[in-house]
Structure 1
Amino acid sequence: MGKAIFAAFLISLTASLSVTTTANANAKYAGIVIDVKSGKTLYADNADNLRYPASLTKIMTLYMLFGELEAGRVSLNTRMKVSKRASGQAPSKLALKPGSTIRVKDAISALVTKSANDVAVVIAEHIGKTESKFAIKMTKAARDIGMKKTTFKNASGLPNGGQRTTARDMARLGMAIQDRYPTYYKYFSTRSFSYKGKKYRNHNRLLGTVKGVDGIKTGYIRASGFNLVTSVKRDGRHIVAVVMGGRTGRSRDAHMKNLIGRFLKSATTGRRVTPLLASRKVPLPRARAVAAAAAEGNLIPQIRPDEIVTASVTRTASADEPEIGSADDYSKTDITDGWQIQIGAVPSEEAANILLGNAMNVGTSYLRGKVAFTEPVISRGQTLHRARFAGFTNKNAARKACNYLEAKDFACLALR
């Protein structure tokens, strides 16, 4: 065997063995690779064993903050006050002064790049009043997206014996934050951040060095070892991978590169066939963002195509007609006689179908046997697609369905 061939063989053998070697040599180790489009687990080792999340916690802190942005309770320019407790957090931090403020958009960048613990507490106190109350909200949100084994006790990931997670749960969070907040998720690709004259480089060294990596977060405390959640989109494939318990940042990164190189090629190309995570609550203000993501091929309806009926009527709305419609402006078709409900009007049919699927996921008892359909309408020169359910026997039944969906953060209007 020639020297070049033998060297190549050794490199290949080392790569193939490194996954099991890392797992066997390190009791803190856990890893997983998920094919986002198919939902298949391509690799797992200790993926369901409890681990300390460290600063991976801040992914959920940002998940909560993105929710506040989406709901309109804060804007990117909202200033959040720094308490003495927040200022006193252990490094890594921005060294914020008590009584000062920080804008939401700067706080996001500080968590993504610097992984600032003082900023994490500022966010927690702004949203939850206290960090402990915020942690309760974080844990509830984790359960809502299927993170069954995760418990949060703080917003930063600083050491706390009760703060536990798994590699699988962290992979789920890594997918959910992209599904639920595609616009804000882009912050995770920030390479560096400047604040008050100082420049902070992202701790995630895979950004810009591994093709297709678009985020998301590193983490370290002594009890956890070196952690990393990574999202990779390349050649029509999309995986989310998690490595926990690395002995050093360098070895963790090398192992993650190995996982990407080994398993990305096994991921599915083409259209995503898995349902969205964190999709049970999709309020109307998200409609345009959902539609934009759908147009990029990132989202698909969660109900079968044969369950959706597209109404044949396209009509022009008046200039002052609200996008959600009214009982007086509806053009009836044979399939939609009687009482019905509308949960949104969005710029694409695919986004309308997504809203219908999301509603069916949470409103099964109220929507069983109803006809889910979309209807195009022209409003102010733009074609919108109404998302509606028909087949309610009376006004009371339609209103009951609306009341339930509204409690789940959907917009809803009963009409005939």
Structure 2
Amino acid sequence: MPMPKRSRAAAALLGLLALAGCQSAQLSADGVRPPTPSSIVMAPQQVTLGYPVARALSELVVDYDTGRTLYEVDADGVRYPASLTKMMTLYLLFDAVDGGRVSLDDTMLVSENAARQSPSKLGLRAGSRVRVSDLAHGIATKSANDAAMVVAENLGGSVDGFAKMMMAKARSLKMTRSNFVNPNGLPDPRQMTTARDMATLARALRANHPRFTSFYAQPAYAYEGKRYRSTNHLLGTVPGVDGMKTGYIRDSGFNLVASAQRGGRRVIVVVIGGATGRARDAEVTRLIDTYLGPAEPQSIASLTQ
């Protein structure tokens, strides 16, 4: 029986609406326009989580040893990770080193794609080869997008291949509300996480790769005669802070995952969506002081010597 004209028109309209709903959100010049929920598809499970809330505050403090939550503000709200993503890239690189697949003295090839990544970057040249240890330091200290892409393409064979590795690791670590599609956190509406997932990743990174903690604990690092200050400005200025990673894109706000230890106790502090870098740093410092107690005077004095 033929469909009435009115029904055919309605069906066509619904088809167009469905097609429109499946289109990916377009990137703005310096951020991400929030996509529709239907455009966020998690891989490899194909689970839809909705979309991240732009520039919204999310905070979490956990005890490092037990994982117990000490404080939280919307810790399970979906957010843009920005360069917090690079903690997962480092995790997989350290997996490869510990597994004997590569060594810190090996070199990796820089592709044209890696060389043209947006700043922050080391300015790696296409066709050159860079030592794994320099790439790791560049990622951890400078938050170099080009270095992260070199690691991804060499370990995963492609960005997509590395993203699958990131997702597999995230699921094995029980990071249930994260999705990774690139290794550096540059704007993509599908790249998402939560403060709780980032705390889970930070604890696992320290616990499972303890011999690499120095990579993200250094206040500065030199590469090819140029000295780069860590993007984590709490290193060397706030007693007890010994890592881990900052992040920023327009739609994430200012993010920071910090590891701190005082008096034999360690916490992981996550702040996502800071209004400014200074406000974010002040809030992380406040939370460290609150849950570890004020720094000893001798600790403060040692930072100024």
> Is this a same-fold pair by TM over 0.5?
yes
| Mapping of residues 15-414 of structure 1, within 5 Å | 28-265=56-293
**Cα displacement (A) at 1:69:** 0.2
Read off the aligned partner of 2:228 and give its amino acid letter.
Y
Give a deviation string over 1:386-413, Cα, whole Å, max 9, x none: xxxxxxxxxxxxxxxxxxxxxxxxxxxx
Counterpart of 1:274 in structure 2 is none
When residues 55 and 27 of structure 1 are mapped into structure 2, their CA distance, relative to the original with a 3 A threshold, is closer
Give, in angstroms, the shift of residue 150 of structure 1.
Answer: 0.6
- The 10-residue stretch of structure 1 (184-193 or 107-116) with the greater mean CA deviation from structure 2: 184-193
Q: Secondary structure at the match of 1:179?
A: helix
How far apart are the structure 1 equivalents of 2:184 and 2:248? 11
2:229 and 2:160 mapped to 1: Cα distance? 29
Shift of 1:263: 1.6
* Paired letter, 2:91: Y
Pairwise CA distance, 1:191: 1.5
Percent identical pairs in the alignment equals: 49
Show CA shifts across 1:167-190 (max 9, x none): 000001110001100001221111
Structure 1 residue matching 2:101: 3-state secondary structure: coil
Mapped to 2, the partners of 1:95 and 1:34 lie a distance apart of: 36
Q: Distance in 2 between matches of 1:120 and 1:193?
A: 16
Q: Give 1:149's aligned amino acid.
A: R
Listed one character per residue, the Cα deviations across residues 239-271 of structure 1 (whole Å, up to 9, x for unaligned) are 0010000011000000101111112249xxxxx
Check 1:122–1:44 CA distance in 2 against 1; reply closer, same or farther (3 A cut). same
Kept in 1: contact 2:84–2:246 (CA 8 A): yes
Write the letter of the residue equivalent to 2:74: N
| CA-atom RMSD in angstroms | 1.3
Query: Match of 2:191, SS?
Result: coil
Q: TM-score, normalised by structure 1?
A: 0.57
SS of residue matched to 1:185: helix
Counterpart AA for 2:257: V
Over 3 Å off, 4+ runs: none
The one-letter amino acid paired with 1:150 is S
Instruction: Supply the AA of the counterpart residue of 2:262.
Output: R
TM-score for both structures, normalised by structure 2: 0.77
1:125 partner letter? E
Shift of 1:38: 3.1
SS of corresponding position for 2:193: coil
- Greater RCO, CA 8 A, separation 6+: 2
Amino acid at match of 1:181: H
2:246–2:256 CA contact under 8 A, matched in 1: yes
**Do the aligned residues in 1 keep the contact of 2:141 with 2:215 (CA within 8 Å)?**
no
Gaps of 5+ in 1: 1-25, 267-416
The offset of 1:37, in angstroms, is 2.3
Shift of 1:27: 5.7
**How far apart are the structure 1 equivalents of 2:148 and 2:171?**
21
Structure 2 segments unaligned to the other structure (5+ residues): 1-53, 295-305
Q: Is the radius of gyration larger for structure 1 or structure 2? A: 1
Paired positions, count: 241
Whichever residue aligns with residue 61 of structure 1, its letter is T
